[in-house]
Amino acid sequence: MLLQHFKITEFDSPDLPNSGNRMQAAFLIVLDKARGIAGVPFKINSGFRTEAHNKKVGGVAESSHTTGWAADIHCTQPRERKLIVAALIAAGINRIGISKTFIHCDSDPTKDKNVIWLY
């Protein structure tokens, strides 16, 4: 898979090299599109997570990260937060969580759609 704005290794779980390859291609294509729309870099804090790493970082059970449907994007600036969220929505990502330091996004088909939540 060819991504314009990301290297697949950016999505690796820290405890499993090359695990970024376990990300869902459909999700990555839309995320790459969102990055192009936003016009600002997306620094991936968390992409694919092994079950062990998900537990270590306090991730929820059934996390979309463990199935390759989610990513957390580092973000602390209000202007960039607005650009990133607007781009995610424009690209078709329909599940967004916003915290002071990151934006969670996912397209997990097993979860409620068209939701935004706060951490």
Average pLDDT value for the chain: 97
For residue 17, count CB atoms less than 10 angstroms from its CB and return exposed for 0-12, middle for 13-18, buried for 19 or more. exposed
What pTM did the predictor assign? 0.96
Residue whose structure tokens are 């998900």: 54
Query: From CA 95, how far away is CA 33, in angstroms rounded?
Result: 16
Model confidence band, residue 119 (pLDDT cutoffs 50, 70, 90)? very high
Indicate the SS3 state at residue 31: helix
How do residues 86-95 score in pLDDT, each as one tens digit? Answer: 999 999 999 9
Indicate the SS3 state at residue 84: helix
| Closest C-alpha to 77, from 119, 32, 105, 41 | 41
How do residues 78-116 score in pLDDT, each as one tens digit? Answer: 999 999 999 999 999 999 999 999 999 999 999 999 999
How do residues 40-75 score in pLDDT, each as one tens digit? Answer: 999 999 999 999 999 999 999 999 999 999 999 999
| Closest C-alpha to 71, from 96, 100, 99, 38 | 96
Query: Given phi > 0 = left and psi -120 to 50 = alpha, else beta, which region is 83?
Result: alpha
Helices (H), the chain: 25-38, 51-56, 78-91
Predicted confidence at residue 23, as pLDDT, reads 98
Query: CB neighbours of 94 closer than 8 A, spacing ≥ 6?
Result: 107, 113, 114, 115
Model confidence band, residue 2 (pLDDT cutoffs 50, 70, 90)? confident
